[in-house]
């Protein structure tokens, strides 16, 4: 009976630790930590990023375009947009961890140089706010880089020094302003685990430190120091579960330095590359024998290869990856890591930079092959972020067409979208791979009130498969096909064998009236007009 009111999606299950990680940014007060603090986002008058303040990246397109109430279920209020695109480095930067899309966070001062979208920051113990500039935003690693051009800000500020990756049981001290407050808070603990960790904000897996020092809302972006006073990481998320307490996570220095060096090397943040394959363990002896592996051979089997990844040209399903850059991979997918430790081989991939080449040895049909593969960043069918851009949309006869992203799912179904969203969308989120670099998942987000679409008003978040018999590749191609159509009828094939048919002349004429009624300035988003 308790599930009788659930309309769609999977039934919730008990969370495991990987599913209950939360980003502890404060929403109640501005944070303040170490050398740089109280980060407040403001629109920049000199950059194009000010458009992110007008349409939320996490809200539905129609809600962003109009304040009129459409038919169907009410839309949630827009959330604060994500940070804008990175811009060239000019002045000494600071680093912060923007674990949630809220306009505040902690920061630490580091050496370097940078210019871009603006924020306000202030130093601990100061009542003066300074204009800062966002230089780079690493959505995957949950880090952003800032700079302040005012020389007065840097007076008396000493940059932190990064320490080496700590060992288990090493003492750490986390500095921040948990649960708001005006005075600094210091908590201490030890490193309890070092592993490949799920970064909730970026939907990626990178090296992370688990510590037993308390990390709460307001600690996010604050530094973690070792007993020598060197920074060994940035606090960014914690584990919220009824059976555990005082488990927090820190972005370690190798990830931070990769972010900084990537920016210095490319004059922009390019991201962490991945090996575009899905793989399975080869621990079962019968499986190894069936795949033609010798007793002394170890590795992992490729299940699928991303069609858009550079690896798709050389790697195949059922290839056995034996080594990466000369490092042998075990049957459980791990590689040696420091003395007496092992870690997932994706750590080796994450140490590379986008565009780098790597040597991969595979076993195919009992033959050993060597390939040199160029690495690239991950391309998802349903992206984890909109990278600060407003949502794309196209409106015809009250039908609001848009693309699916994680921010969109979160705005539609809340923070538990993994359980509330339709099963088909969740399956595509978790398992589908794009078949081309420009493929998007296009849906009818909602249907605005109009006489022409009577009978269609219950269509919500339903995928558009084809238009007049032609497959829909992405939102831009759909808009172009509709605008250039001279047929008598417009026919949209939707999932679950649904169809929508509109008379062409009537639909295009009705669109103008619907836009005026709902105070929507344009039937198509600016990014699709180019």
The pLDDT profile of the chain, 530 residues, written as one tens digit per residue, is 444 444 444 444 444 444 445 555 433 332 333 334 444 444 444 333 332 222 223 344 554 444 333 444 444 444 433 433 333 333 334 454 433 333 345 666 665 444 455 688 888 778 888 998 888 888 888 898 888 888 888 888 888 899 999 999 999 999 887 776 667 888 888 999 999 988 887 788 999 999 987 777 767 788 999 999 999 999 888 777 666 677 889 999 999 999 999 999 888 899 899 999 999 999 999 999 999 999 999 999 999 999 999 899 899 999 999 999 999 999 999 999 988 889 999 999 999 999 999 999 999 999 999 999 999 988 889 998 887 788 999 999 999 999 999 999 999 999 899 899 989 899 999 999 999 999 999 999 999 989 999 999 899 999 999 999 999 999 999 999 999 999 999 999 999 999 999 999 999 999 999 999 999 999 999 988 86
DSSP secondary structure string for all residues of 284-296: -HHHHHHTT--TT
Residue with tokens 């120091």: 225
**Assigned superfamily of 273-377:** PDZ domain (2.30.42.10)
Angle made by CA atoms 14, 16, 17, in degrees to the nearest 5: 145
Q: Which residues are CB-neighbours of 159 under 8 A, at least 6 positions away?
A: 35, 92, 109, 110, 111
Residues 6+ apart with CB under 8 A from 223: 33, 34, 106, 108, 160, 174, 175, 231, 233, 234, 235
Q: pLDDT at position 214, please? A: 74
| HSE value, Cβ hemisphere, 13 Å, CA-based, for 429 | 21
- Comparing CA positions, the residue from 277, 288, 281 lying closest to residue 317 is 277
DSSP conformational letter for 106: -
Q: For residue 194, what is the enclosing H or E element?
A: strand 185-199
List the CATH code of the domain at 393-528: 3.20.190.20
User: H or E element: which one contains 470?
Assistant: strand 470-471
* pLDDT at res. 66: 41
Q: Residue 252, exposed/middle/buried by CB under 10 A (0-12, 13-18, 19+)?
A: buried
Domain with residues 29-38+89-271, CATH architecture: Beta Barrel (2.40)
DSSP 216-238: -TT-TT-EEE-TTS-EEEEEEEE
SS3 351: coil
Neighbours of 287 (CB within 10 A): 14
Same fold flag, 29-38+89-271 and 393-528:
no
Cβ within 8 Å of residue 122, ≥6 positions away: 32, 37, 38, 128, 129, 130
* pTM for this model (two decimals): 0.75
Yes or no: say if 136 and 88 are a contact pair by the CB < 8 Å rule: no
Return the domain boundaries, the chain.
29-38+89-271, 273-377, 393-528
- The vertex-298 CA angle with 295 and 299, nearest 5°, equals 150
Contact, 263 vs 269, CB < 8 A?
yes
Give the pair of three-digit tokens for residue 234.
Answer: 């940035």
């Amino acid at each position: 009976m308790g599930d009788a009111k659930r309309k769609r999606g999977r039934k919730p299950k008990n969370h495991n630790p990987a599913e209950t990680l939360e980003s502890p940014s404060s929403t109640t007060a501005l944070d303040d930590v170490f050398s740089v603090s109280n980060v407040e986002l403001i629109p920049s008058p000199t950059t194009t990023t000010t458009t992110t303040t007008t349409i939320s990246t996490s809200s539905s397109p129609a809600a962003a375009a109009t304040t009129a109430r459409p038919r169907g279920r009410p839309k949630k209020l827009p959330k604060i947009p994500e940070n804008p695109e990175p811009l060239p480095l000019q002045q000494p930067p600071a680093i912060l961890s923007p674990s949630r899309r809220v306009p505040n966070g902690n920061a630490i001062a580091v050496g370097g140089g940078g210019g871009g979208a603006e924020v306000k920051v202030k130093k601990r113990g100061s009542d003066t706010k300074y204009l800062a500039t966002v230089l780079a935003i690493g959505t995957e690693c949950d880090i952003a880089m800032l700079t302040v051009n005012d020389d007065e800000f840097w007076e008396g500020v000493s940059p932190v020094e990064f320490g080496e990756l700590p060992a288990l049981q090493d003492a750490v001290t986390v500095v921040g302003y948990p649960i708001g407050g005006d005075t600094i808070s210091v908590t201490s603990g030890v490193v309890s685990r070092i592993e490949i960790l799920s970064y909730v904000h970026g939907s990626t897996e990178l090296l992370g430190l688990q510590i037993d020092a308390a990390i709460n809302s307001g600690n996010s972006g604050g530094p973690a120091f070792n007993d020598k006073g060197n920074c060994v990481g940035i606090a960014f998320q914690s584990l919220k579960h009824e059976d555990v307490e005082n488990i927090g996570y820190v972005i370690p220095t190798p990830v931070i330095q990769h972010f900084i060096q990537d920016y210095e090397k490319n004059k922009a943040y390019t991201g962490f590359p991945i090996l575009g394959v899905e793989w399975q363990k080869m621990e079962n002896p019968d499986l190894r024998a069936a795949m033609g592996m010798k007793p002394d051979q170890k590795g992992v089997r490729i299940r699928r290869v991303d069609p858009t990844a550079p690896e798709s040209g050389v790697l195949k399903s059922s290839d056995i990856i034996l080594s990466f850059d000369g490092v042998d991979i075990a049957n459980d997918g791990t590689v040696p890591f420091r003395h007496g430790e092992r870690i997932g081989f994706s750590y080796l991939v994450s140490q590379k930079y986008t565009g780098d080449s790597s040597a991969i040895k595979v076993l195919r049909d009992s033959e050993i092959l060597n390939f040199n593969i160029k690495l690239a960043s991950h391309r998802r069918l349903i992206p984890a972020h909109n990278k600060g851009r407003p949502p794309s949309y196209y409106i015809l006869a009250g039908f609001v067409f848009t693309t699916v992203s994680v921010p969109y799912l979160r705005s539609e179904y809340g923070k538990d979208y993994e359980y509330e969203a339709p099963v088909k969308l969740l399956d595509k989120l978790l398992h589908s791979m794009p078949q081309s670099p420009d493929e998007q998942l296009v849906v009818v987000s909602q249907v605005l009130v109009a006489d022409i679409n009577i009978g269609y008003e219950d269509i919500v978040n339903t995928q558009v498969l084809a238009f007049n018999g032609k497959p829909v590749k992405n939102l831009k191609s759909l808009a172009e096909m509709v605008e250039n159509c001279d047929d008598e009828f417009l026919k949209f094939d939707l999932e679950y064998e649904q169809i929508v048919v509109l008379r062409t002349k009537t639909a295009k004429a009705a669109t103008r009236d619907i836009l005026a009624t709902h105070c929507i300035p344009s039937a198509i988003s600016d990014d699709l007009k180019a």
